[in-house]
Amino acid sequence: MAAVKAPEIITDKAQMRQWSRSMRAQGKSIGLVPTMGYLHEGHLSLIREAHKHTHLIVVSVYVNPGQFSPNEDLSTYPSDFDGDIKKIMSVPGGADVVFHPHNLYDYGESGVENEMKREKDGVIMSCVEDRGMGHETWVRVDRLEKGMCGKSRPVFFRGVATVVSKLFNIVEPDVAVFGKKDYQQWRIIRRMVRDLDFAVTVIGSEIVRGDDGLAMSSRNVHLSPNEREKALSISKSLSKAKYAAEKGQINCTELRNSVIQAIHEAGGRVDYAEIVDQESLEAVEEINVHVVFCIAAWFGKVRLIDNMEINL
């Protein structure tokens, strides 16, 4: 078996765009897998999925400050770029390019202070605004971003939609692959692409779980062994709720209460537990449409998200 060659590493926006356009001029299609690095098997499954749809693969590795507020965990987000390259090369076919920009919000205007620096009390800023980088254009998907993760992280999806728009404009992919573990994010990106007429096909890839059932996440590294064991209550209770729904229990309040109780008994703190329509993300009272049961919960200092689609 031939060794997978190392991907070309591009850090400059103009160089990245030039590469994509030269490849497309040769009749090649391009798939993008956006990541924030510290890759795990879930990310690698996205690369494998992308290989099914395009000739060439670009993996972006960029921790996006725009989706973190100043009091969130940007500074502690794990990083291992050399390890990421080795993991990418472990995938059959690997990636053709790793786009690893230093700062997508640096416009060469270091002296410009954003007006948000003088915000009134109560205005939620992103880390970008907090640092006064002059960035003031944001992409919002108004309704889909309001619930679930949007309630406790009010700048998160604005930052995600904006940086994904930037990546689409820089890389100019034909296909982009996102993990469905971040279900709300996936739906928001799909809606944004539809509404703004991006020429990108957005594919959702199924959740990858560890052998114990925990949904893979870069943040799992911060769980102690005891916390990880307790966190299994998330996937276990979701599976039980799905089984109960398939057996005729369609009352969402009862299903939600059963999952919340299981997580509390395991020592977790629930941020939200919502059963929502898969397309609109609107909460439902009874399961009579295709729904997804979405959970966010804290174990120790780690916030975990998970979900399970229920298609009756």
180-226 pLDDT, tens per residue? 999 999 999 999 999 999 999 999 999 999 999 999 999 999 999 99
Q: Is residue 212 part of a domain?
A: no
Per-residue pLDDT band for 275 (boundaries 50, 70, 90) equals very high
CA-based nearest residue to 149, from 304, 311, 308: 304
Asked whether the beta carbons of 177 and 31 are under 8 A apart, the reply is yes
Q: Is 55 assigned a catalytic role?
A: no
| 155 pLDDT more than 90 | yes
Q: Looking at residue 142, what is its pLDDT?
A: 96
CATH number where 16 lies? 3.40.50.620
Question: Does residue 114 surpass a pLDDT of 80?
Answer: no
User: Is the predicted pLDDT of residue 119 greater than 60, yes or no?
Assistant: no
Final residue belonging to a domain, choices 180, 205, 230:
205
Query: Is the domain of 150 the same as that of 177?
Result: yes
The range of the structural domain enclosing residue 35 comes to: 8-205
Instruction: For residue range 125-147, list pLDDT tens digits in order.
Output: 899 987 777 899 999 999 999 99
Number of C-beta neighbours around residue 311 at 10 A = 12
Name the residue among 65, 218, 62 with its Cα closest to residue 155: 65
Helix (H, G, I), strand (E, B) or coil at 17: helix
The catalytic residue among 40, 43, 51, 53 is: 43
Has residue 2 been placed in a domain?
no
User: Are 274 and 133 found together in one domain?
Assistant: no
Q: What is the CATH number of the domain that holds 261?
A: 3.30.1300.10
- What pLDDT shows up at residue 122? 61
The domain tally of the chain equals 2
Structure pTM?
0.93
Q: Is the pLDDT of residue 113 over 50?
A: no
> Do 142 and 223 fall into the same domain?
no
**Which of 165, 153, 133, 176 minimizes the C-alpha distance to 73?**
153
> 177 pLDDT exceeds 90?
yes
| Domain identity same for 150 and 232 | no
Same domain, 121 and 228: no
One domain, residues 286 and 138: no
- The answer as to whether 120 is a domain residue is yes
Strands (E), the chain: 8-10, 30-35, 56-61, 97-99, 175-179, 201-205, 269-277, 291-299, 302-310
Q: Phi first, then psi: give them for residue 277, nearest 5 degrees.
A: -60, 135
Domain closes at, from 170, 205, 240: 205
